[in-house]
Amino acid sequence: MTTTRHRPAVDAGELRRRVRELLDAHPPATTDRLDFLRARFDAGLAWVHYPAGLGGLDAPRSLQAVVDAELEAAGAPGNDPRRIGIGLGMAAPTILGFGTDEQRERLLRPLWTGEEVWCQLFSEPGAGSDLAALATRAVRDGDHWVVDGQKVWTSSAHLARWAILIARTDPDQPKHRGISYFICDMTDPGVEVRPLRQITGEAEFNEVFLTGVRIPDSRRLGEIGEGWRVAQTTLMNERVAIGGGRVPREGGMIGLVSDTWRERPELRTHDLHQRLLRLWTESEAARLAGERLRQQLAVGQPGPEGSAMKLAFARLNQRISALEVELLGEEGLLYDDWTLRRPELVDFTGREAGYRYLRAKGNSIEGGTSEVLLNIIAERVLGLPPEPRTDKDVPWKDLPR
Amino acid sequence: MSTADLLYSEAEDDLRAAVRSLLTDRCPPATVMSEAESGRAYDVALWRALGAEMGTAGLLVPDKLGGQGATAREAAVVMEELGRAVASVPYLTSAVLAAVALLGCDTGQEAVARLLGAVAEGRTVGALAVPLSTVAVVPGGGSGAPAATVRADGDSTLSGQVSGVAGAAGADVLLVPATGADGYGLYAVETAETSVTVEPLTSLDLTRPLAAVTVTGAPARRLAGPDRAEAAIGRALLTGAGLLASEQLGVAEWCLTETVRHTKERHQFGRPIGSFQALKHRMAALWLELVSARATARYAADALATDSPDAPVAVAVAQAHCAEVAVHAAEECVQLHGGIGMTWEHPAHLYLKRAKSDEIALGAPGRHRQALAALVDLPAPTG
């Protein structure tokens, strides 16, 4: 932490002063969106807890809310965190933690402004929940690494300029120890992105085939063989990312089905009423738990509740969307559109109930399955003993596959 | 409604530490068990230390009326700890239900103020004479206070019966809703009167026994008439239900903590049973439930403390949610303890009995969801 450093702390007043300076120099009404975002980054107001020169001011993370509120009130353009979620939530903290100065200076600014989209080349057909079982190989060739393998479930791969990539660099080591972490240029020869059509008919995700892709050693993050440790930083940050804004009551899926209930009395049955009330109560409980987590974070007491929220919402969304399809009866038998589309964002509210029902099935799989998250809670929060493991000290090449 | 503080303040943490330390010392499971079997209505020595000496009996009562001038937020912390210890003391019945009912009467009246002061100081134990299952009055979701089963003759004597009253056995004064010539009112009756019978019932929850109250021409003092009695009782029931959520949280927390401890130690098939995924997932799922239960209980306490217009919704959500979480946690506790969980000497059964009777107390979850339907405009089908 920065407590021992003798530098005047950047406080809320100072941040407000800097926001005013930014707004005076770049009036949002007359400034190009991208120019404004670049200026904001350069003013250290992008992510205030990042170091000076890298979009921040070494300020307490909690003060970001002050900056965001001031800029929003002034009608300043934002950087659409949803669209650049992987870069923001996963790549950036990893580059900050493990990157060289050159990497940080080259990559963080266009990442934050959204000029360069990132994707994440972690999961493989044979390595999902057991991520460290991955088989994509990176073989040293002078100043480069030559990468061969297949990745899967890659959101935004078709839009991405860069990817964070983990690959096996030493098959003679046990699986966690033979992995290294790279930054992959998605425009390089040998990178092939194929849409992966999913249950909803859309292709949000991709398969990515890597064939003889040459990555310079200067785009490695962390030491050779230390990729698993680096990936832990990425994955922890994936789950910490929780919406900064407050969610109002009935703010999620429950609001949609509640409105339908109010507007369509002819659809009501007693059974659905009971189930709706139960889900409404649980949604409110989950919302309050999220609010409580937000308050804990704001006073600097991050709790393990982050992974709890993901689990809770996954279960709820599945049950609520299932109820919604049933409530609609005849209409629930129809689907709005099976066209193969490539959405940039998951749009739960812009589509109809059937879509929500099908898409919500992924909530308990993506970003860590509910089963794996339950294990994490059991072992790290409750301190229960780990499952016995047979793969820990065996060289990766000798593991059964 | 979104500005509610859902965390615990430093003062609340200090209060918790003091209450927990007292309960750890004075009320370990073996003591709870022997108290429950003693035939005494509650643990008198413990209540003297906790209610009177520590001052928790008067948390909800303003300083000038003899209390501590705290709020439902602090009372909720005490309830959490009492749930965790499944302690047998008249906190809910006297310090919450009776005290809040008295606060709703005209405290400018000397008789009301005197009784309230005595209850707040823990010198007198009061009880609100309504069945424990009575649901909180919810504006738009229910009528007024519960219909009185006792008749007032003039304004000085009462006759009738109320069954299933918690905290009546062991109480010095009963606050009895009764209907007389002037309508609905709240009356105080001394249990020492020979015309008052408090007959203990054999209750599911050994640590919060119920009693049947019979008054036969018992001398009574009217504390509130038709203008205030319903609101006073309604507020007491709403507050009681809201704070009961914190007790349920405490019960659930003990159950999970003990289950985790047990399954880490207990070995079968050559390894701790807590390492089996089937069991781990059940405990992790309980932890998840506890996270949201804590949020709803805190929100209800805060809404009551700040007199928020959202309090009826907050209480209904907390009750509907926490009641089921506590029962689930207690059921899992018994199951994951295996055979020992089914025995009388292990305390798990005390928690299951408390959790199950808390579920019914002050409105079962279904009643609270029904109240919500009206409060948040999700009407039932007609016809």
Residues B318 and B18: their CA atoms lie apart, in Å, by 25
pLDDT range class, residue A240, cuts 50, 70, 90: low
CA angle (B137 as vertex; B133, B139 as ends), nearest 5: 155
Residue B84: name the closest of B288, B293, B252, B295 by CA. B252
A245 band by pLDDT with thresholds 50, 70 and 90: low
Q: Measured at the alpha carbon of residue B94, what is the angle toward residues B88 and B99, in degrees to the nearest 5? A: 155
User: What pLDDT does residue B238 have?
Assistant: 95
pLDDT in tens, B98-124: 999 999 999 999 999 999 999 999 999
d(CA B82, CA B71): 17
Residue pair A160/A114 in contact (Cβ under 8 Å)? The answer is no
- CB-CB contact of B273 with B279 (8 Å): yes
Q: Do A289 and B291 touch (CB under 8 A)?
A: yes
Chain B residues contacting A, CB < 8 Å? 1-2, 4-7, 256, 260, 263-264, 271-272, 274-275, 277, 280-281, 283-285, 287-288, 291-296, 298-299, 316-317, 320-321, 369-370, 372-373, 376-382
- Confidence at residue B155, expressed as pLDDT on a 0 to 100 scale: 66
At position B222, the amino acid (one-letter code) is R
Q: Is A265 on the interface with B (CB under 8 A)?
A: yes
d(CA A113, CA B377): 43
All structural domains of chain A with their residue ranges: 13-78, 118-226, 231-382
- Per residue of chain B (383 residues), what is the pLDDT tens digit? 447 999 999 999 999 999 999 999 999 999 999 998 888 999 999 999 999 999 999 999 999 999 999 999 999 999 999 999 999 999 999 999 999 999 999 999 999 999 999 999 999 999 999 999 999 755 444 445 788 899 999 868 999 999 999 999 999 999 999 999 989 999 999 999 999 999 999 999 999 999 999 999 999 999 999 999 999 999 999 999 999 999 999 999 999 999 999 999 999 999 999 999 999 999 999 999 999 999 999 999 999 999 999 999 999 999 999 999 999 999 999 999 999 999 999 999 999 999 999 999 999 999 999 999 999 999 999 87
- Nearest by Cα to A262 from B292, B380, B156: B380
A206 in Cβ contact with A157 (< 8 Å):
yes
Report the residue from B293, B370, B381 with minimal CB separation from A268.
B381
**B31 contacts B88 by C-beta, under 8 angstroms:** no
Residues pairing with A163 in the sheet: A119, A184
The whole-angstrom separation of Cα B79 and Cα B73 is: 10
Place of tokens 């990497």: A103
Helix locations, A26-78, DSSP H: 33-42, 64-73
Query: What burial letters (b/e) apply to A233-271, b meaning 16+ CB within 10 Å?
Result: bbbebbbebeeeeebebbebbbbbbbebbeeeeebbeee
Interface membership of A249 toward B (CB under 8 Å): yes
> What chain B residue is nearest to A260 in terms of C-alpha separation?
B378
Contact B235, B72 (CB under 8 A): no
**What separation in angstroms does the CA of B101 have from each of A268, B75, B93, B130, B263?**
39, 15, 11, 12, 44
Q: What is the pLDDT of residue A239?
A: 56
Mean pLDDT on A325-351: 90
CA separation for the pair B235, B231 (Å, rounded): 6
Cβ neighbours for A321, distance < 8 A, ≥ 6 positions apart:
A253, A353, A356, A357, A360
All structural domains of chain B, each given as residue ranges with its CATH number in brackets, are 10-124 (1.10.540.10), 128-225 (2.40.110.10), 230-376 (1.20.140.10)
ipTM over 0.85: yes
- Give me the mean pLDDT over the A301-309 stretch: 75
A305: confidence class by pLDDT, cuts 50, 70, 90 = confident
**Measured between alpha carbons, how far is B98 from B189 in angstroms, rounded to an integer?**
13
Residue contact A377–B272, C-beta within 8 A: no
Quote the pLDDT of residue B1: 45
Is A118-226 a CATH 2.40.110.10 domain? yes
> How far is B73 from B81, CA to CA, in rounded Å?
13
Candidate from B287, B320, B376 with C-beta closest to A381: B287
Q: What is the pLDDT of residue B261?
A: 98
Active site residue A238: yes
Asked: is A231-382 a CATH 1.10.357.10 domain? The reply is no
**CA–CA distance, A208 with A189 (Å, rounded to integer):** 13
